[in-house]
A and B are shown apart, each in its own frame.
Chain A
Amino acid sequence: MKIIKDKKVVNDAWQVLRLHEGDAADSIVVPQGEYIVPLPVWNCQWETLRERKELGLWLGGLERAEDIPDDVNRFPVIAIDIHKYTDGRAYTLAYRLRKQYGYRCELRAMGDVLHDQLFYLKRMGFDSFAMRADQDLQRGVSGFDTFSVKYQASVDVATPLFNRIERGVA
């Protein structure tokens, strides 16, 4: 599958494990290989899964950073599933992972990820993007540079504009 990572369109090998109807978090088999598993599966099968260094984790809209029982940096990738682009919880969740929990590895936005939200998502510390199927990835790459001015601090810049740059007397 193609995704945007570090502002480039790349092939990505991660598989996302989803619980479908009839699947139970405690009994579903996580296949061998690079899988991004949902938090409930991780929590239920923690004792066995923790041996597998290659697994990633994904969080849904209602899940929170503090629900992760381990050091977040043990995951090479954490994905946040955006079920609808208007649901802004993913942005604060990203803030918490990056700023509060010190997550340093790949933070991925997946689901209803659209061109016009990439700038904000990138500011919140997302660095890879599994976009909605109808989105033009090549075009998406240009979406990171919509604005060159950032008034406020966030994950990408630690200080607000007024503390970053000498602004003239207005």
Chain B
Amino acid sequence: MYQYDKFDHQLTAERVAQYSDQVRRRLSGELKEDDFRVLRLQNGIYMQVHGYMMRIAIPYGLASSAQVHQLAHIARTYDRGYGHLSTRQNIQFNWLKLEDTPKILADLAEVEMHANQTSGSCIRSITSDELAGVARDELIDPRPFAEILRQWSTFHPEFAFLPRKFKVSVSGASEDRAAIEINDVGVQVVKNAQGELGFRILVGGGLGRTPVIGQELIAFLPWQHLLTYMESIVRVYNEFGRRDNLYKARIKILVQAIGIGEFRRQVETEWQLHKDGPSTLTEAEVARVSAAFTAPAYETLPQVDASFEAAQREDKAFANWVQRNVTAHKVDGYAAAWLSLKHPGRAPGDISADQLDVVAALADHYSFGELRVSHLQNLVLADVKQSDLHALWQEAKAAGLATPNIGLLTDIVCCPGADFCTLANARSISLSRAITERFEDYDYLHDIGDIDLNISGCVNACGHHHVAHIGILGVDKSGEEWYQVTIGGNKGTPAAIGKIIGRSFSFAQIPAVIARLLHVYVSERDEGERFIDTLRRIGHEPFKTFVYAEQIVEEEKLLLPDYEALRAAVPYELPYFSPRF
């Protein structure tokens, strides 16, 4: 992976010094909150329900074992012993004190990490495909370009105060695992008819209050022009993006308002002014950065390992895990293994300090010392020998990281929700727990098969509910938490926005609503059809009709519990309550 040179180290150290000084001035009262807020946000610091939350960048989702050990150290030293992986491949700590955050930044700098631009109205941390470099459907590894974009966007002086946040994702594969269609800018590596390398650029995608699929801005941009073209896009947005209304400030609204054709014309006009200028990428720079992403020292192995095959025959539980959590690798004899962070009883995406240490050790032992975070809030060891998978599984299982549910109903993507987040209208984590408990029967889950269930606690849509097969959105009705259900969204290629099925539901009704949706699927499906396939074939109506046909009885055990009692009884590792409820 990319290693810092002296310039990267110097800049990171200077950032720590700058932020430390800002916090010192904030604590002394010299800096008022209104002037400090933006400074802390650009270092990933939010003020949340329980205290300060810090979002640490894991650029394009790639981390070394040393970095993960350091995250474990941070979880233990400054937090309550766990972190939360976000849908943009970052990690968040929820229980911090402001005065500790400069020390955390310094600790991160020791392992070449930072929290730069993980929040705020600026170009955010760049995301990519969790299978970059190992996927069979990959044209080229997109991570060198993600790193080049990371450096270009870091402390870009012109673009620190955009109308709103600006998210960029890069994919190098034919199947989109990087959500490029729902980012402000999606970058897809492509080749033209002459076999030359370039990018297809999408613009104006995004979820939130106004979900939109990104539109193609340019079908083929030669790779040399990546930075100058990006600069033109962001410059036009900075000038013309709306600043009068927070909800209409994303680039998608600008693109919708003037049309993709006019937006393209403006970008092209702007681009002509500095195209082929000094920021044109050079082969030397691409080669320098690409050298950091060369393939590890793979052994020459048979395509299929006999012991791996035998272990699956002999051990049903292992075979189940392999079926759900292991993916093919471009190199014979290797596989990519998912470590599920959707374990019953824990919040989706949560990981404890001890588990962080375990996965770092597993990465060292089995996967060349690296691991990846997926935007679906799980971890991936991308370079595991097939012959090591059984041993890996056993170790992961012992650490509670081997739930065989990748892609199943309980692999829920979920934002922190009202249990943690001040923006949320409703709880997400608590609801995911209720759903997980209701559908814990393993055979039933397997029978239902591939299905995406996402939960967002408010319209900001951090849980990406619009692009889930079943999406759940927390809404506020006269101060009470309610949930709107959408069906038919899709995160893959092509992405699609789901449709709302009707009036909203209470917390305690949601598990029954999901059961009814699944019931329609099971009764209507053809052989081999996934939930989304059946839904596309028969349409939304049968699902809607059945869900609302009879009154939905609230599940009593899910009615709001006595939170005072829970607070006393439940250890903080299970924060399924919040001071707000």
Contact = CB atoms under 8 A, between A and B. Distances in A.
Interface of A: 61, 64, 85-89, 91-93, 95, 99-100, 114, 116-117, 119-121, 123-124, 146-154, 158-163, 165, 167-170
Given A91-B158, A120-B157, A152 B121 contact: no
A92 B160 contact: no
A142 B54 CA distance: 27
A119 to B, nearest CB: 7
A86 B155 contact: no
A123 B279 CA distance: 16
A132 B513 CA distance: 56
A124 B282 contact: no
Nearest to A154: B157
B530 interface: no
A163 B385 CA distance: 40
B278 A146 contact: no
A92 B161 CA distance: 10
Contact of A153 (B3, B39, B155, B278): B278
Given A116-B22, A159-B279, A170-B289, A89 B152 contact: no
Contacts of A162: 282, 284-285, 288
A86 B160 CA distance: 9
Given A151-B7, A165-B7, 17 more contacts: A85-B38, A91-B158, A116-B35, A119-B157, A120-B155, A148-B14, A149-B11, A151-B151, A152-B151, A152-B156, A154-B156, A154-B157, A162-B282, A167-B7, A167-B285, A169-B291, A170-B4
Contact of A87 (B155, B161, B273): B161
A98 B159 CA distance: 16
A88 B161 contact: yes
B27 to A, nearest CB: 15
A92 B235 contact: yes
Q: Is the interface of A mostly helix, strand, loop or mixed?
A: loop
A92 B473 CA distance: 37
A161 B227 CA distance: 13
Contact of B14 (A93, A100, A149, A170): A149
Contact of B279 (A64, A148, A160, A168): A160
Contact of B161 (A86, A100, A119, A149): A86
Interface in B525-560: none
B147 to A, nearest CB: 9
B422 interface: no
6 contacts: A86-B121, A87-B161, A88-B160, A91-B161, A117-B160, A163-B285
B306 interface: no
B238 interface: yes
Contacts of B22: 116
A168 B292 CA distance: 11
A162 B147 CA distance: 13
Contacts of A154: 156-158
B18 interface: yes
B11 A151 contact: yes
Contacts of A147: 11, 14-15, 18, 155
Contacts of A114: 35
Contacts of A158: 278
B35 A85 contact: yes
B109 interface: no
B368 interface: no
Contacts of B7: 149, 151, 161, 165, 167
B426 interface: no
B14 A152 contact: no
A158 B278 CA distance: 7
A137 to B, nearest CB: 14
Interface string B86-101: 0000000000000000
A120 B288 contact: no
Contact of B39 (A100, A116, A159): A116
Q: What are the nearest 3 A-B pairs in CB distance?
A: A88-B161, A123-B157, A149-B11
B10 interface: yes
Contact of B288 (A92, A152, A167): A167
Given A85-B35, A148-B14, A158-B278, A170 B161 contact: no
A153 B279 contact: yes
A164 B455 CA distance: 47
A6 B235 CA distance: 27
B160 A163 contact: no
Contact of A146 (B14, B288, B289): B14
Interface in B1-39: 2-8, 10-11, 14-15, 18, 22, 35, 38-39
B358 interface: no
B162 interface: yes
B154 interface: yes
Nearest to A146: B18
A148 B7 CA distance: 9
A113 to B, nearest CB: 11
A152 B274 CA distance: 14
Nearest to B1: A170
A68 to B, nearest CB: 15
